Amino acid sequence: MSGTSSNLDDTNNDTAHESVPETEALISKSFPEFTSWRRVFVVALCSVTLILEGVNLSLPGPFFPREAEIKGLSQFQIGLVVGSFDLTNLCFSFVVASLVTPKNIKFVFVTGTLWSSITVSSFGLLSESPSGDIFFYSCFFTRLFNGAGAAMLYGTAMPIAVQMFPEKAALITTIIQSSIGCGLCLGPPIGSLLLPLGGYKVPFLVVGITELFVFASSSFIIPNESVKTKSKVRSSDYVRFLGKFSTLSVVIPTATLYFIPGIRDTAYSLYFENVLAVDSKKVGYVFLVNSLAFLTWGPITGVLVGMGLGSIVEVSYQIAAPLIAFALFLPKFVPQLETLGWGVMILALNGITMASTMNPAYLILEKMAIRQGFTNMQQIKTLIASSYNLATSSGRTFGAFVVGGYVNDIIGFYNMCLCLAIVLSVTATWNVVVLIKYGLVGRLYYDSKLDKQVFIGGHRQCFNPS
């Protein structure tokens, strides 16, 4: 890693106000004294919860657009409903980041599971409501409230899980990413499997009831005050962290990359049905390719990040994303490519690209937080989890509302893909140039890695956290 840290905006005097003991910034000495099995159960519970939340997120994509069309909704209204989930998720990420403390992190997590259970079940039951505006507004507000539960879970599951085994941060982060990928993978086929058993509402009711069991389990398994630290993320801390140019250089490109799932859930299913003639009840199996690629590539990314190659992965996916978006545009000029096989290949490549996002972004944001003077890993993990959730939810919201909904309506599917490729090219260039300029392209390790180098207060230091 090159010694270019003097150029960082993260090393202002206001962030280097105190001498930071190297080990204190990396691994808190107040490690929770629980049995290994109980800590494993906590990590497993966080993993299961995010699997269910991934299902909750991906389940409407293949099926809601068709149900909404039957109920008389326009493409733009479909985009509003799909995007409303991430709109609330986006807004609540600020709330979660500002209000979560070691004393209430369990309460926020448990409340999120209950909230999500109720709202996802209600969303399925809305299939029984009248068509037209009543159906639209009911779905919009139910999905809007559903997003609040997701924000609670995304903002707390990672800090809780990582703090159980802080010396294995790379592994835990990989498990969490794989859990989300597994949920995204299971959502569409679960829908296709359960839909014939009782109609549109059945898959959502099954997910909601399962989350209710998770709510009861988490109340007993997760320890109270799972992290004993005096640290708390204040609103001003969160705003300061997000306001840095270097932080935005990761957050905004990640957000634009997450236009893709927003577009997928509003426009892809109808494209596969109307253009590629896929049966509406089987389109969920086509989406499975995207999620399987995400799930398969997630652990591979985790291994690469554990080897110190996270920034290389970050640069690679930033370069690949606009190329994949452009590939989906190509059938407009090469009609022979307008086939199911081509569409499935793009979905798979999108899944691989998305799986290359979380772990590297967490790693790089962690380095930036340490450079900015944050000294406690619980605080840093909360900042990063909320910032990443902010990026992904804002991207999915904009992708669903504006790109997959409005822009798709105005200029058509293929031209929309071209616009996406242009935007991704701009943000990818920004991200890569900044990472190179700031010396963040090279060997980078999580806080738990022994004998590694970090920047604290703008100065390169070596330490061994043992």
What does the pLDDT look like over 236-247, one tens digit per residue? 677 788 888 888
Q: Does residue 55 contact residue 190 with C-beta atoms inside 8 Å?
A: yes
| pLDDT (0 to 100) of residue 162 | 76
Would you state the structure tokens that stand for residue 180, as one six-digit string?
């989300």
Q: Which domain holds residue 159?
A: 5-463
SS3 per residue for 434-453 = HHHHCCCCCCECCCCCCCEE
* CATH number of the domain to which 83 belongs: 1.20.1250.20
Burial 5-29, CB ≥16 within 10 A → b, else e: beebbbbeeebbeeebeeeebbebe
Length of the chain: 466
- Name the stretches of the chain with pLDDT < 70: 1-34, 61-62, 94, 97-98, 167, 169-170, 181, 225-236, 280-284, 376-378, 447-466
What does the pLDDT look like over 210-237, one tens digit per residue? 888 888 888 877 777 644 444 555 656 7
What does the pLDDT look like over 417-447, one tens digit per residue? 899 999 999 999 999 998 888 888 888 877 6
Would you state the structure tokens that stand for residue 30, as one six-digit string?
């107040």
| pLDDT (0 to 100) of residue 201 | 80
Q: For the chain, what is the radius of gyration of the CA atoms? A: 22
Q: Does residue 279 contact residue 192 with C-beta atoms inside 8 Å?
A: no
| pLDDT (0 to 100) of residue 232 | 52
Instruction: Give dist(CA 320, CA 244) in Å, integer.
Output: 26
Nearest to 431 by CA among 281, 256, 261, 296: 256
Residues paired with 455 in a beta bridge: 460
Domain count, the chain: 1
Contacts of 60 (CB under 8 A, 6+ apart): 82, 123, 143, 265
| pLDDT (0 to 100) of residue 34 | 65
Which pTM does this prediction carry? Answer: 0.69
The HSE-up count of residue 382 (CA atoms within 13 Å, CB side) is 31
For 152-172, give the DSSP string: HHHHHHHHHHHHHSGGGHHHH
| pLDDT (0 to 100) of residue 226 | 44
Tokens 């505006």 identify what position?
133
